[in-house]
Structure 1
Amino acid sequence: MKKETRHRATIIDVAKRAGVSKSTVARVLGGSPNISEEAAERVHAAVSATGYEPNHLAVGMRSGRSGLLGLVIPDIANPFWADVARGAQDQAAKEGMSLLVFSSDWDSAKEAAHLRALRQARVDGAIINPVADNLDGLDRFGMPFVLIGSSAESFPDTSSVGSDIAQGVRLGMDVLLAHGHAQPAFILGPKSKLARARFLRAINQHCIERDIDPASLHTEDSDYTVEGGKEAMSRLLERASKGRHLAVFCANDLMALGAILAVRDAGLRCPEDVSILGFDGIPSGAFSWPALTTIEKDGRKIGSTTVTCLFDEMAGRPEHGRVYIPCRLIERGSLANLLAGNTDRLAAGR
C-alpha cells in the first residue's frame, strides 16, 4: 500500500485561502501595523486551517536572527543539569525563542563539536558549561554567550551564572555541626576539577572559623556518579573506626545515593550507623531509603537567569560578571541527630 505524503503548506496556500497576496501574508505574520483588521483575520484563519509554519531559517537570513539559542551542559542524564535545561527552555520560550540542548559528557572534543554545530545552526547565542577549567580563546565561540558551572569562575571578565557553592557548603557544615557531627568525612570530585577545589576551600574556611583542624577530616575523591559515590563510600567504611558513628558530606546527590547503597551493602544502616548529606537537591533524593537530606542548588533558577543574562549579552548591554544563586537546606531522613541521643540508643539496642 502506497503511503500518502501530505503536502506541506506554503505561504502561497495561505494567500490563496485568505484571498490576499503573498506579501500581505508576510506583512501580517511579520506584525506590520499597516494591515486592515479584516485582512489580518483572514490570514490568521488561513494559517490555522492550512497548518502553515513560517520558514524560520529564511526569516532568520532576512532578519539576521535565527530564533534559536544553544545550551551545552556536561551531563543531561544528571537530573540537576536536566533542571537547568528546563529553566533555560522555559525562559527562552517566554521570549519566543527555541533552545537546542547538547550534552558534552565531560568530553572536551564533544564540547567542541557541539559548539561547531551551534555556529553552523547560526544560533543567536549560547549557554556553555565549559568542560575544561582553562579554556583558551573564548572568542572562538563566535557568538554571544554566557557561562555556567564551576569552571566559569576561571573567567572573571565573562558573564556567568552559578550556585553559591561557598554558601551552600557552609549551610551543610552548619547543619552537620548542629546535629553533632563536628568531624564529618567528605566524598569530593576529581582532583582535576575546579569544583572540587572550591568545595574543599569552603570546608577548610568553615573549619578554621570554628577552630577545627581541616587536616583531621577524611576525604575520598570520586567522579560525580552513583557508582563513584558507592566506591568512595566503601573506601571510607574500610578506614572508619568500628562502632563509631560516621557522617559523610557528598559533593553531589548522585554520589550520596551511591554512598547509601554502599552502607546497605556493608550491612549497616543509614542514618543509625552512617549519616549522609548530599548536595544538589535532585528529585530522586526524595525517593531513596532513607530520603536524602541535601543542600539544594536551584537548577531551574540558574537556567532561567542565564537566559536573561544571555539576552543582555545579545543586546550589547554591560556584562553581569558572576551571578550567584543561593542554595537551601532540604531536611529528610539520612542525617542522624547525635545530640538528641537517638543513634546511641539505637546502637545500644542492636
Structure 2
Amino acid sequence: MTDNAASLTIIDIARLSGVSKSTVSRVLSGAENVSEEARRKVTEAVEASGFRRNELARSLRSGRTGMVGLLIPDIANPFWAEVARGAQDAATEEMASVLIFNSDWDPERERRHLMALTQSRVDGAIVNPVQNGLDELSRSQVPLVLIGSSAERFPELPSVGSDITQGVQLGLERLVQAGLGMPALLVGDPHRTARERFVGAVREFGAAHGWPVEALRLQDGHYTIEGGREAMKRLLQGGVPRVVFAANDMMALGALHAVREAGLNCPEDVAILGFDGTPAAEVSMPGLTTIMKPSRDIGRRAFELLSRKIAGDEDVPHMSLPCSLVERGTLPTREGPRVVRGEERTAT
C-alpha cells in the first residue's frame, strides 16, 4: 500500500495500470465490456496502491454536494419504486444521497422538477424523460443518465433500460409453446415510446410466425389497476379473447379483476400475461405470470454510470438489460414454475 493511498484518484490508477481512466471507471463500476487483461491490470494496480472503491466516491464529491437527483414518472407504481430503491442502494454504498422527484407523467411538473434539480446544485441526475426536451438540465451542464424507453429520444446521452423487444419476444414464445396464438393487447398512452416498442415487437413477432397481425386487438388504458380493468371490460365487449398480454403488471392485475367480474376464469377461459415483474404479481389469485424487468438493477446501473459521468468519463455507454419470464398461474401450465432469463446488451 502506498503512503498517499487516501489521495489517489482513478487518473492515478490509470497511470499505474497503463489503461485509460474510462477503462478504470468501467472496471470499478463492474461493467461487462472490459477485457480480462485490462481488468487484471486495474485490479493489480488497485491492490498494490491501496486504492479503495469508496475513494472514487470521495473524489467524485470533492467540492460537490454529494447529492444526485432521480426524476421518475410514478413513484406509486411498484416498478419505479424498485428502480428508485436500486439507485438509492448504490448511492448509499458510495456515501451519496438521492433526491427523488415524481413527475406523474406531467411535462409541466417535470419541467418544474428539472428546474429544482439545477437549483439544488446536484452533482448529477438520473431522469426518465416525459417531454422531448431537457433544456433546463442541458443548459446547466448537469451530468445526466437517462432511464426507461423514453431515453431513445436522446441518443447522445448515456442510458439504462430494459430490453422491451427481447422481453416481448420471450413472452410471445411462451404463448406459442402453450398453443395460445396471437394475444389481445392492453397498452398505455399511444404517445409513449414504451407503447410503440411493445406493440411494434408484437407485430414483428406475429408477422414472422404467420399471425394475422392486421386483426390484432388492442385497448388503450392507463398504466394502473383500474386502467387495466376498464380496458379489459371494453375488450370483452368485442368478444372473449383466449389470451391477453398487458403492457404492465398493474394493467394485467386490473384485467384479472375484469375477467372475474365477467364470470370467467383465468387461465381456463382467458389467459393473462403481464409485463414488469412487480411484487404485487406474486400475491394475486392466481399468481400473475409476467415478464420481469430488472427494475432494481436499472437504478443501480444508472447510478454507477452517473458516477462515471461525474468523474469526467466521456465513454459512458447505453445499457439494455434483459428481461426474464416468471411463471405463475395465469397461463396454462407446462412444466411447472420456472424463470427464463435473457442476456445483457451494452452499446457505446
For the superposition of Structure 1 and Structure 2, which TM-score range results when normalised by the shorter chain?
0.7 to 0.9
Task: Give 3-state SS (helix, strand or coil) of 1:85's partner.
Answer: helix
- Equivalent residues of 2:161, 2:321 under 8 A apart: yes
SS in 2 for 1:168: helix
Tell me if 1:306 matches 2:305: no
Matches within 5 A, 1:102-141: 102-132=101-131, 134-135=132-133, 137=135, 139-140=138-139
The match for 2:319 is 323
Greater alpha carbon shift after TM alignment, 108-117 vs 284-293: 108-117
Q: Which has the larger radius of gyration?
A: 1
Matched, 1:291 2:290: no
How far is the alpha carbon of 1:141 from its aligned partner? 5.3
* Distance in structure 2 (CA, Å) of the matches to 1:165 and 1:235: 26
Correspondence for 2:14 = none
Whether 1:173 and 2:172 are equivalent positions in the alignment is yes
Partner in structure 2 of residue 235 of structure 1? 234
> Which runs of 5 or more structure 1 residues have no equivalent in the other structure?
1-30, 33-58, 340-350
Question: Is the 2:182–2:206 contact (alpha carbons within 8 Å) kept by the matching residues of 1?
Answer: no
- Report the Cα offset of residue 319 of structure 1: 3.7
CA distance in 2, matches of 1:141, 1:260: 46
Shift in alpha-carbon separation, 1:184–1:63, aligned structure 2, 3 A: closer
Which residue of 1 is the match for residue 265 of structure 2? 269
The aligned counterpart of 2:72 is 73
Alignment of 1:1-350 (within 5 A): 63-132=62-131, 134-135=132-133, 137=135, 139-140=138-139, 142-241=141-240, 246-337=242-333
Could you list the structure 1 runs, at least 4 aligned residues long, displaced by more than 6 angstroms after superposition.
none
**Per-residue deviation, residues 1-23 of structure 1 (Å, max 9, x unmatched):** xxxxxxxxxxxxxxxxxxxxxxx
Q: Alpha-carbon deviations, 1:142-164, whole Å to 9, x = none?
A: 41110011110111111010000
Give the secondary-structure state (helix, strand or coil) at the position aligned to 1:71.
Answer: strand
Cα offset, 1:338, TM superposition: 9.4
Determine if contact 1:180/1:337 at 8 Å carries over to the other structure: no
Q: State the secondary structure of the residue aligned to 1:295.
A: strand
Number of positions where the alignment pairs a residue of Structure 1 with one of Structure 2: 278
User: Contact between 1:157 and 1:321, CA under 8 Å: does it hold in 2?
Assistant: no
Structure 2 CA distance for aligned equivalents of residues 96 and 136 of structure 1: 28
How many Å apart are 1:311 and its aligned residue?
A: 0.8
Identity between Structure 1 and Structure 2 (%): 52
The Cα shift of 1:337 comes to 4.9
> What CA distance in whole angstroms lies between the structure 2 residues aligned with 1:108 and 1:287?
34
Tell me the CA shift for residue 322 of structure 1: 2.0
Letter in 1 for 2:63: G
What SS does structure 2 have at the residue aligned with 1:220? strand
Q: CA contact under 8 A between 1:291 and 1:333: conserved in structure 2?
A: yes
- Provide the C-alpha distance between the structure 1 equivalents of 2:316 and 2:331, rounded to a whole number of angstroms: 38
* Matched AA of 1:174: E
Cα contact 1:156–1:321 (8 A) shared by 2: no
- Quick one: which amino acid aligns to residue 175 of structure 1? R
CA distance in 1: counterparts of 2:84 and 2:134, whole angstroms = 25
Distance 2:264 2:230 in 1: 15
| Cα distance in 2 for residues equivalent to 1:125 and 1:107 | 22
SS in structure 2 of the partner of residue 83 of structure 1: helix
- Shift of the alpha carbon at 1:140? 3.2
Q: Return the letter of the residue paired with 1:294.
A: T
Give yes or no for contact 1:115–1:141 (8 Å, CA) kept in 2.
no
- CA separation in 1, counterparts of 2:140 and 2:93? 25
How many angstroms apart in 2 are the aligned matches of 1:171 and 1:318? Answer: 34
Instruction: Report the CA distance between 1:214 and its aligned residue.
Output: 1.2
Q: Which amino acid aligns with 2:133?
A: L
Shift of 1:113: 1.4
TM norm structure 2: 0.76
The TM-score with structure 1 as length reference comes to: 0.76
The answer to whether the 8 A contact 1:69-1:98 is kept is yes
Structure 2 residue runs without a partner (length 5+): 1-5, 8-57, 336-348
**Distance (Å, rounded) in 1 between the aligned partners of 2:296 and 2:333:** 31
